[in-house]
Structure 1
Amino acid sequence: QCSLLLCCLCLSVEVHQTPSAVFSRPGENVQLFCQHPKTDYRVILWYQKTRGETALKLIGNLYHKNPTIESSYEKHFNMSGDLGGGGPKNASLNIVSNLTQEDSAVYFCAAREHSPVHCANYEAHFGQGTKLTVLNPNIKVTEPTVKVLAPSAKECEDRNKKKKKTLVCVATRFYPDHVTVFWQVNNVNRTEGAGTDNRALWDKDGLYSITSRLRVPANEWHKPENRFTCNVSFYNGTDNIQVNDTIRGDLQGNKTMNTVCVSEKQDI
């Protein structure tokens, strides 16, 4: 019954984190906030997810007013809040004392009930995360340069023998890596056939780049009146600014070119 109860509650608990993104500089202090409306969820847990890692690292938890912090985070992390009473629950994670670039990460808070030992399956309900970037003092905040590349004339049919064309969007030389990418066709958002790198790549000069792709039917690409736009939203520490590039469909595009394709079933 315990597990079933938690399954039902899972959809009803909304955990909100603010801000969603924050820039800071070495040596500064940062405070992150977590709030949820569930009166009997009196435990807030905080987690850290560093760049390139898939696992979440537990920083600690707050029960009522009592924080418990993991030993590896005790030096410059603390928690505050009051999870008692009958109203909405509010808590904060405070990163103090000599903030460094190693503290750059996504921080998640999660809410759950205070589970007794005999019922340890209570689920934690996560917020959307706060992305903290501790800026490199030697690199200026820089918006991306965006370029859409036309499909290759030699692109093969897909596995269903449907002719497709792949547009590639390259966003380069931006810092830091607070970007999201989305596509539009004739000013209408397009998610079908779109895919973006899981994370931006870090260049040797400290700037970032990211690539996104949009796969469309060939007959859609071969209409010059169609406009394909790659939009990159970049957070500069104050605002989200939009940088984009647009390419028009190509009537010619070597529509009759025959291309020899290697079967996907072969080992190559």
Structure 2
Amino acid sequence: MISSGLIKLSASLLWLCLIDGSDVTQTQLLWRKKGESATMNCSHTKDATYIQMYWYRQLPGEGIKQIVYTVPSSKPEYGSGFSEDKFPAKKSDAQTGSLTVEELLPEDSGVYFCAVSQHREAYFGSGTKLTVLEKKYNVTAPTVKILPPSSKECKNKKKTLVCVASGFYPDHVSVFWQIDEVTETNGVATDNNAVRKNESYSITSRLRVSAKDWRSRTFTCTVTFFNGTDYKQYSDSLKGAAGEGEGESFTKENYVRTSQAGKLSYAVFLAKSSLYALFITALVWKLKNSSGKQSN
């Protein structure tokens, strides 16, 4: 949820460098109802000299703020605006710790990061996404649908498939694509966050492929949804349009257009034939009249 890099963050009196957090493990997804409490655990595989543990919070649309700094056998030190009553933290040994959020409110929903440090370097976990459920809404799995490329896209250029997952609650989802059952990451663009509409969420992901691939391969969009207990997967698949892009794209629209053009050409042909027949009839009649007058 946070990418590695040299991002400077203020932690107590230290400036800590954000480093690859593959050594730090923390709870990934968590939800609770309003009024309940949520406990997030954190551990690391660095050596026992990394005794300092920091907890940060990032709310939607806001920057990261330090909640608390802990070391074993010492009283936690809280950042501005945070208290022990609301955010009790524990650090019983060098390699494990926890943070609890009490009396949950909807505004507590956000991403909580654990970081461990020895002196100046801070190793961050990937973050815990905490969602405070609204009691009036039920946990609902997503409906997944792949939309084929638009007929307005150039026939022999790139094709864009759109995957829409909708109707789910809460927004604990991730999306991935497969081409012929092999996971594909190139050409994939997924919304950063699910969009809320009334009592549910939706998210969109796009896959850009070559016209050749679109004609010959099978595409699958899978949405992984956390229902509070397990991770469940919901998918939709679409087989490319064989033959499309080789000359004219023979879609329903093209068929109708071609049929109408054929009918119009046939009607013009009949009209011309009728006019020609009238012309011949008039010419024969005129010749007969002329011949009769000469005979008289």
Q: Percent identity, please.
A: 43
Q: Distance in 1 between matches of 2:21 and 2:203?
A: 35
Task: Give me the whole-angstrom Cα distance separating, in 2, the residues matched to 1:12 and 1:51.
Answer: 22
1:77 is matched with which residue?
87
Alignment TM-score, normalising by the size of structure 2:
0.73
Following superposition, the deviation at residue 180 of structure 1 comes to 0.4
Post-superposition offset of 1:12: 8.9
Matched, 1:63 2:71: yes
Aligned pairs for 1:13-24 within 5 A: 14-17=23-26, 19-24=27-32
Counterpart CA distance in 2 for 1:20 and 1:12 is: 13
Equivalent residues in 2 for 1:172-191 (5 A)? 172-191=166-185
Q: Distance in 2 between matches of 1:48 and 1:257?
A: 55
Asked whether the equivalents of residues 45 and 61 of structure 1 are also in contact (C-alpha less than 8 Å), the reply is: yes
Q: Would the aligned equivalents of 1:154 and 1:257 in 2 still touch at CA under 8 Å? A: no
Instruction: Quote the Cα distance in structure 1 between the aligned partners of 2:224 and 2:44.
Output: 28
Instruction: Write 1 or 2 for the structure with the bigger share of helix.
Output: 2
1:233 and 2:224 aligned: yes
| CA shift for structure 1 position 257 | 5.9
- Once residues 127 and 60 of structure 1 are traced to their aligned partners in structure 2, the CA distance between those partners, rounded to angstroms, is 15
Give the superposition deviation at 1:66: 2.5
Distance 1:241 1:13, change over 3 A: closer
Kindly provide the amino acid, as one letter, of the partner of residue 108 in structure 2.
Answer: D
Residue 92 of structure 2 aligns to which amino acid in structure 1? D
Q: Report the alpha carbon displacement of residue 137 of structure 1 after superposing the two structures with TM.
A: 0.4
Return the alpha-carbon distance in structure 2 between the equivalents of residues 110 and 49 of structure 1.
Answer: 14
Structure with the larger RCO, 1 or 2 (CA within 8 Å, 6+ apart): 1
- Structure 2 residue corresponding to 1:167, chosen from 142, 157, 161: 161
The 3 A distance-change label for structure 1 pair 173 and 221 is same
- Once residues 24 and 12 of structure 1 are traced to their aligned partners in structure 2, the CA distance between those partners, rounded to angstroms, is 26
Please report how far the alpha carbon of residue 15 of structure 1 lies from its aligned counterpart in structure 2 after TM superposition.
Answer: 0.9
User: Does structure 2 retain, via aligned residues, the 8 Å contact 1:152–1:166?
Assistant: yes
Unaligned ranges ≥5, structure 1: 4-9, 116-121, 259-268
State how far apart, in whole Å, the 2-side matches of 1:12 and 1:28 are.
29
Match of 1:143 among 138, 141, 144: 141
Describe the SS at the equivalent of 1:242: strand
Question: Paired residues, what number?
Answer: 231
Matching residue of 1:131: 129
Question: Amino acid of the residue matched to residue 194 of structure 1?
Answer: V
Q: Can you list the C-alpha shifts for 1:107-157, whole angstroms capped at 9, x where unaligned?
A: 1000112x4xxxxxx121101111111101011101111100001122249
Instruction: In structure 2, list runs of 5 or more residues that go unmatched.
Output: 1-5, 7-18, 250-296
The within-5 A match list for 1:240-251 is 240-251=231-242
Question: Contact 2:211/2:245 (CA < 8 Å) preserved in 1?
Answer: no
| 8 A contact 1:186–1:228 mirrored in 2 | yes
Matched, 1:107 2:145: no
What are the within-5 Å matches in structure 2 for residues 214-233 of structure 1?
214-223=207-216, 226-233=217-224
Q: Does 1:29 align with 2:37?
A: yes
Q: Which has the larger radius of gyration?
A: 2
Q: How many angstroms does 1:251 deviate by?
A: 2.1
